[in-house]
Structure 1
Amino acid sequence: MSTTAELASVPVRGKPAQNQGRPDRFRADIQGLRAIAVSLVLLYHLWPNRLTGGFIGVDVFFVISGFLITSHLVGSVPTRGADLVRFWAKRIRRLLPAALLVLAATLIGSRLFAPETQWDNTAREVMAATVYGENWRLAQTSVDYLASENAASPVQHFWSLSVEEQFYLFWPILILLLAGLARRRGLPTLKVVLAGLVVVVGGSLAYSIQATSTEPASAYFVTPTRMWELGAGALLAVMTRLAAARLGRDAERERAGGRWTLLAWLGLAAVALTAVTYTGATPFPGWQALLPVLGTVAVIGAAAAPAGLSPTRLLRLRPVQWMGDISYSVYLWHWPLIALLPAVSGGHLGRLDKFAILVASLVLGTLSKRYVEDAFRFGRRVPGIRRTYVLAAVAMSVVLVLAGLQVVEIQHRQQQARAELEQALSGDNPCFGAAAWSSKVTCQPVPYSDILPSPADAAKDKSDAYSDNCWVYPPFRTTKSCIFGDKNGQVSIALLGNSHAGHWLPALQEIAKQKHWKITTFLASECTPSTTPVQWDTDAKQAGCLKWAKSVQRQIIKGHFDLVVASNRNGHPAVGLTNKKSQSAWQAGYRDYLSTLDRAGVHVSVIHDNPFPGKPIPDCLAENPDQMHTCDGRPDRWVPRDPMVAAAEELHSSRLSTVDLTRYFCDEQSCPAVIGGVIVYFDGSHITKTYSRTLAPYLLGPLTAAVAKSR
């Protein structure tokens, strides 16, 4: 996405390798490939359901970048540190000005137009993008089940730029070391470089295949799984240089012209095929990325002449070349527009909105290319090497400080909100939280300015199971438990399930304060305690979840708990079924699991799963402060069928009981997003810690009765 300037520095097939440090000719076909790549990404982000594999445009960019950068490096092999300093200075002048401009504009735009719930995350991602570490931040959050419901960050597209910048930092050092090794051993430099790159590319590809099969969410972003794609272009650059030196005559290319034209068409066909057939469900990158990568390699390697039926005749058309020329800036600008415009247009991108984004991306890309990119590279006062680094450090610091100030401000607001929250919880307001449903007094609606926790703070208002790291995460290789309440309590409670069990912990803690109960958690992210295999994105997660459920079952039986409190959300379909058709399979798995506990004499109380909004409630409230009711839902849409409750009731055992607190979430007409001045959900399905605490009085009776039965 960042190498338009280097398009001239590419050897032509059949040209001698003389003057290798100097450009040989302009590669219009590569410029055209860049236009195709950015168009695929742009169209995919605007119409993801129509161009389902458009994301592979990024992979096309990677190959181009690897090829062009390595062509420069092997054309003038770095031999000392000063060569690297000059190389990086060029990259800074080429990439940083436009990137920092977009980051600063996005930070300001987010503050002006996005809801306050997104300010903190946007500021932190701007900081990560500024230092080109966004891909690692996204890799970390991609495996966080709760983070998956967050609104899209307006700078998350910087993940690919981060990968490239890390490549630009590492690759010249690698080539310098390989070239140094060749000189010391008296071996041909390019052949040693080629051998070294083959090892790196092969290792990266192998790791990409392995990581994509075990943790595809994070594998999509991390640098080691992507390095081979840039490396594929790099290998082509070295082999092209070697071939040019060996052939040394133009006639060879002319005799093979038809063959290279066919190869170029086949390469474009491979890219097009993946763009229309791949989907978000395709495990990627892994071996599936070979098709678009090798297709791009074929087009670049063919270097087809613009004659006859060659695709280069199309790729060199003026509109295509213009699109390729502004592709870097278009890529920078398009995603912030897509992410922020819904905050202005009412939360949905219509056809007019998408057309406006398309036009704005092209206009901003053109202006940015001319007045920012070119000004720092070809202007009258192009900074020298030392000044380049100084200006870069100052500009990056400015963006980091602006983002940091926003983070500090949000933290200060959250501290104030938490103080207000603790004061409210310690009071005796009969209309606070769930009490509003059963209050004998008339409870008045609470204005947006007074709801607790604040929408910006609600997303972090989670049970202590998160701060105390009490979770087992995919692929569930172990079990884990935490103890809360009275550690010496005579009544021992086990809390069992996934995140929809974990959000009941605050209510149990309130009860434990009164009853001196000891609470032991057995919690796994997304995994349900069941014998039914459900569909995961890897076989290891599917097997690990079943193994965790069985292991926890044994621990509970041996633990002699007075009561097991269980609750779950079923987010994964049974193997071979859809979610809608999985109800009976889920119920059967719970029935088997609970019957085993029942036969062992374990008492279990199953809490009916809470209503499921399916949209981030804090964001909705922040976007609609004067119409908070628009964030409410209907019981027939939000209240789920609970297969674990159905299984417990089906078994008709005195040791199995159920608790349904739906009446404290919904009445006959509505499921409010705010009840008694308290935000009910911290995302699209999980209960806030605050609202959970207000439910304790209504959970106390059923659980006390269940404990009494067990003793």
Structure 2
Amino acid sequence: MQAPSTDTAAKTAAEPAAGAAATAADSRRSVRTDIQGLRAIAVSLVLVYHLAPHTLTGGFTGVDVFFVISGFLITLHLLERMPAHPRDLGMFWSRRVRRLLPASLLVLAVTLAGSRLVAPETQWENTARQARAAVLYVVNWLLARDAVDYLAAENAPSPVQHFWSLSVEEQFYFVWPVLILVLGALARAMRRRPLPVVLAGLVVLVAASLAYSIHDTATNPPAAYFVTPTRMWELGVGGLLATFTLLRPGRIRPWAATAFAWVGLLAIGWAAATYTGRTPFPGWQAAMPVLGTAAVIAAQPPDSWRRAWLSPGPLLALRPVQWLGDISYSVYLWHWPLIVLVPAATGHALTWTDRGAILAATLLLAWLTKLFVEDRFRAARWGIPLRKPFALAAAAMAVVIGLAGAQLAEVHHRSERAAAVLAKGLAGKDPCFGSRALDHPKSCPDVAYADVVPAPIEAAQDKSDAYDNQANGHDCWAYQPSFPTKQCIFGDATSAKNVVLVGNSHAGQWLPALQQVAADQHLKITTMLASRCALSDVRQQFDTAANATACLTWVHRTTQRVVALHPDLVVMANRISVGAETDGTTSSEQLYLQGYASILRTWRDAGIRTVVLRDTPAPGVSVPDCIAEKKTAYRDCNGTRQAWLPPAPEQQAVQQVHSPLVSFVDLTDHICGPTTCSAVTGGVITYFDATHLTATYARTLAPYLGPILAKALGAG
């Protein structure tokens, strides 16, 4: 996803294989043109959203349309042939395997190869990791975990992350027939008709899933978008509709069908046109496209103008619309890898010409895949004997997992080689290595791309020990939604001199430099760190009010924890990653200033010495990705000091407090030149992502930070 921005990444919609249900209905029924038309509308929404997101900001709701369609057709099929034995389940899953896996595994294999050929090496690991999860139909859970990881959320979008919804559907396909089987057995045990019992069971499930979706969207929206429990109700609405259809067969009156169909289509269109990346989703907001889709399916608008002059049915039945609905599954599978990989291959952002070419290539590849892969493997002969599709699926899945594993092995090998080169560079006393090069800019030559350390593939993982979830046996970070208290010890744990490093991720990036200083001065380093939440007494604009409250509670709790600990020195650093909640009269920056000053006064009054580090320059784009893409032209990744340097309300806060106990330190001159901030400084890649210093570069700042800390400690 995105990664696209966090918003865009979160809304990366995938067609959930609703097309898989095209053959799920009983063979006695013809394909419903209204449902095929809905598929065409849904995939068109997704295509437009991904190709030109600003033109249709809510196009991600196409995925919700597909969920309802799948829930309806699959439930209808299961209830008409209600499973009663394990073999019935096996036959159902066999059909799903033959329908879904051949095309999806083909796209995954081709995408892995394409990624290896054209994508920057910094993205290979993430792509392979997600591809492996996609093969196993758990990539939605992997993306949910990454979405709440502040650093992982900034990853570039992978070309396979759109498989998240296919994973949701496959989990649905696994659970749903078992649920129907159990409810059918319960009905027999109770000597009741099966359909009312199934209906009651589905009502309970849909209500529970909807309640959880509303709660999780309000409290943990990044993960809520991807996880299965928040989406099950959408498929369940389709299931409820199928159950009602069988309980009360027969079509509604033509005039009512026309009204229902148009209202449903308008609801889908309204959501697509008005929803944005900032819309809390799914939650109750998903009801608009979900109920709109259900209305169109329930109406079953006639496909002839003679039967209903104003009906949208004939429009949905047009041959081009039906053709697009027919290939919609493969359209979705192919379009996103092309959107992600074409810019990597061309070296520039998508132009309108590129977008047109991607659209044409998507339709051509989808048509060929439908003709030579989907239809071929869907044939009945591939399902006989019953074990055959499962054996073939397991073999094909193993091949793709093997390809992903090979890519991960190559990444690991390159990382080990890069780490060896880096260790050699760190061991030397080169006066032009890292930040030291800025002391002698004229006498330090440029470094060739091949000699840059850490190598781009390694730089993305060159983070401080604070980012290691296993550091000292436990996590060192307070994450949303609850922001619990987290504390880790580094340096000399037996030292009587305790330095507390406190703040958000831009405090954590200083740990490698502090560890170098601690080794020289025999210091104990205690970290109190949070992800995104700046240590400022101000309410910050998180995705939900609960997260904002939890962040502010962490700020207050941590401030008092420092007072209770009363260390020899506090080192504080923060990045303003979200705005402050303003009243319209005071700027966000001013509120942060006041919040910093409030905390510094608390520590000053407690007699605690504090060093406030100025926030570091931020490129705004992934530096390792840029360097890996530009290679020998990596200097194109540089930026101006004016553009990269953020505001410094912390400096004004120190001035307001005006105490000898509180000092402000600006090391920007050791990160940037007078006018230019470099992606590579002294042969060292400066940032491991779009804003955070690599651990290697941070270590080269230790000679400049050490004397400052020694002076502050000596003064104490």
Q: Fold match, TM over 0.5?
A: yes
Q: Distance in 1 between matches of 2:34 and 2:584?
A: 45
Superposition map of 1:596-611 within 5 A:
596-611=602-617
Q: Secondary structure at the match of 2:664?
A: strand
Deviations 1:200-253 (A, max 9, x none): 111111100000000000000000000000000000001101101xx6xxxxx4
Deviations 1:654-689 (A, max 9, x none): 111011111111112210000111101000000000
Whether the 8 Å CA contact 2:262–2:296 is kept in 1: the answer is yes
Deviation at 1:577?
Answer: 7.2
Superposition map of 1:510-529 within 5 A:
510-529=516-535
Whether the 8 Å CA contact 2:230–2:283 is kept in 1: the answer is yes
RMSD: 1.6
Q: Which residue of 2 aligns with 1:13?
A: none
Superposition map of 1:449-488 within 5 A:
449-467=450-468, 468=471, 469-488=475-494
Deviation at 1:2?
Answer: 2.4
Q: Which residue of 1 aligns with 2:571?
A: 565
Percentage identity across paired residues of the two chains: 54
Deviation at 1:580?
Answer: 11
Whether the 8 Å CA contact 2:20–2:100 is kept in 1: the answer is no
Whether the 8 Å CA contact 1:219–1:285 is kept in 2: the answer is yes
Deviations 1:547-586 (A, max 9, x none): 1111111111121211100110001111137999421111
Superposition map of 1:332-411 within 5 A:
332-378=333-379, 384-411=385-412
Q: Which residue of 2 aligns with 1:689?
A: 695
Deviation at 1:442?
Answer: 1.8
Deviation at 1:413?
Answer: 1.5
Q: Which residue of 1 aligns with 2:183?
A: 178
Deviation at 1:441?
Answer: 8.1
Deviation at 1:588?
Answer: 1.0
Q: Distance in 1 between matches of 2:573 and 2:483?
A: 22
Q: Secondary structure at the match of 2:493?
A: coil
Deviation at 1:546?
Answer: 1.1
Alignment pair present for 1:707 and 2:713: yes
Superposition map of 1:49-128 within 5 A:
49-128=54-133
Superposition map of 1:587-598 within 5 A:
587-598=593-604
Alignment pair present for 1:139 and 2:140: no
Q: Secondary structure at the match of 1:308?
A: coil
Q: Which residue of 2 aligns with 1:628?
A: 634
Q: Secondary structure at the match of 1:29?
A: helix
1:509 pairs with one of 515, 523, 535: 515
Name the CA shift for 1:579/1:229 in 2 (closer, same or farther; >3 Å).
farther
Q: Distance in 2 between matches of 1:49 and 1:566?
A: 39
Deviation at 1:702?
Answer: 1.4
Q: Which residue of 1 aligns with 2:320?
A: 319
Q: Secondary structure at the match of 1:566?
A: strand
Q: Secondary structure at the match of 2:76?
A: helix
Q: Which residue of 1 aligns with 2:241?
A: 236
Deviation at 1:346?
Answer: 1.7
Q: Which runs of 5+ in 2 are unaligned?
A: 1-15
Deviation at 1:23?
Answer: 2.8
Name the CA shift for 1:589/1:440 in 2 (closer, same or farther; >3 Å).
closer
Whether the 8 Å CA contact 1:494–1:521 is kept in 2: the answer is yes
Deviation at 1:123?
Answer: 0.7
Deviation at 1:361?
Answer: 0.7
Counterpart residue type for residue 700 of structure 2? T
Name the CA shift for 1:477/1:428 in 2 (closer, same or farther; >3 Å).
closer
Deviations 1:119-167 (A, max 9, x none): 1111111100011111011000000111122110100000000000100
Q: Secondary structure at the match of 2:161?
A: coil
Whether the 8 Å CA contact 1:534–1:542 is kept in 2: the answer is yes
Which stretch shifts more, 287-296 or 699-708?
699-708
Counterpart residue type for residue 365 of structure 1? A
Counterpart residue type for residue 264 of structure 2? G
Q: Which residue of 2 aligns with 1:276?
A: 273
Q: Distance in 1 between matches of 2:18 and 2:493?
A: 61
Deviation at 1:492?
Answer: 1.2
1:40 pairs with one of 28, 38, 45: 45
Deviations 1:482-534 (A, max 9, x none): 11111121321110100000000000000000100111111011111111111
Q: Distance in 1 between matches of 2:211 and 2:82?
A: 28
1:664 pairs with one of 659, 662, 670: 670
Counterpart residue type for residue 660 of structure 1? D
Deviation at 1:444?
Answer: 1.4
Q: Distance in 1 between matches of 2:658 and 2:24?
A: 77
Q: Distance in 1 between matches of 2:587 and 2:358?
A: 39
Q: Which residue of 2 aligns with 1:24?
A: 29
Name the CA shift for 1:567/1:457 in 2 (closer, same or farther; >3 Å).
same
Whether the 8 Å CA contact 1:510–1:696 is kept in 2: the answer is yes
Counterpart residue type for residue 214 of structure 1? T
Which stretch shifts more, 97-106 or 144-153?
144-153
Counterpart residue type for residue 518 of structure 1? K
Alignment pair present for 1:257 and 2:262: no
Q: Secondary structure at the match of 2:54?
A: coil
Q: Which residue of 2 aligns with 1:654?
A: 660
Q: Distance in 2 between matches of 1:198 and 1:76?
A: 21
Q: Secondary structure at the match of 2:677?
A: coil
Q: Which residue of 1 aligns with 2:17?
A: 2
Q: Which residue of 1 aligns with 2:444?
A: 443
Deviations 1:318-351 (A, max 9, x none): 0100000000000000000001111122230111
Q: Which residue of 1 aligns with 2:686?
A: 680
Q: Distance in 2 between matches of 1:385 and 1:162?
A: 23
Q: Which residue of 1 aligns with 2:546?
A: 540
Q: Distance in 2 between matches of 1:580 and 1:141?
A: 34
Name the CA shift for 1:431/1:579 in 2 (closer, same or farther; >3 Å).
farther
Q: Distance in 1 between matches of 2:20 and 2:431?
A: 68
Q: Distance in 2 between matches of 1:497 and 1:581?
A: 21
Q: Distance in 2 between matches of 1:323 and 1:482?
A: 56
Counterpart residue type for residue 231 of structure 1? G
Whether the 8 Å CA contact 2:260–2:296 is kept in 1: the answer is yes
Name the CA shift for 1:379/1:450 in 2 (closer, same or farther; >3 Å).
farther
Q: Which residue of 2 aligns with 1:218?
A: 223
Q: Which residue of 1 aligns with 2:12?
A: none
Q: Secondary structure at the match of 1:626?
A: helix
Superposition map of 1:409-448 within 5 A:
409-439=410-440, 442-448=443-449
2:232 pairs with one of 227, 237, 251: 227
Whether the 8 Å CA contact 1:9–1:23 is kept in 2: the answer is no
Q: Distance in 2 between matches of 1:580 and 1:319?
A: 55
Q: Secondary structure at the match of 2:434?
A: coil
Whether the 8 Å CA contact 1:451–1:679 is kept in 2: the answer is yes
Tell me the TM-score normalized by structure 2.
0.95
Alignment pair present for 1:556 and 2:562: yes
Counterpart residue type for residue 357 of structure 2? A
Q: Secondary structure at the match of 2:248?
A: helix
Which stretch shifts more, 550-559 or 670-679?
550-559
1:494 pairs with one of 490, 495, 500: 500
Q: Which residue of 2 aligns with 1:295?
A: 292
Deviation at 1:281?
Answer: 0.2
Whether the 8 Å CA contact 2:264–2:293 is kept in 1: the answer is yes
Q: Secondary structure at the match of 1:484?
A: strand
Deviation at 1:379?
Answer: 8.0
Deviation at 1:650?
Answer: 2.4
Deviation at 1:382?
Answer: 6.2
Which stretch shifts more, 467-476 or 686-695?
467-476
Q: Which residue of 1 aligns with 2:165?
A: 160
Whether the 8 Å CA contact 1:648–1:658 is kept in 2: the answer is yes
Name the CA shift for 1:578/1:500 in 2 (closer, same or farther; >3 Å).
farther
Alignment pair present for 1:286 and 2:301: no
Name the CA shift for 1:452/1:597 in 2 (closer, same or farther; >3 Å).
same
Whether the 8 Å CA contact 2:462–2:688 is kept in 1: the answer is yes
Deviation at 1:383?
Answer: 5.2
Deviations 1:431-462 (A, max 9, x none): 11111112498211111111111101111111
Name the CA shift for 1:327/1:577 in 2 (closer, same or farther; >3 Å).
farther
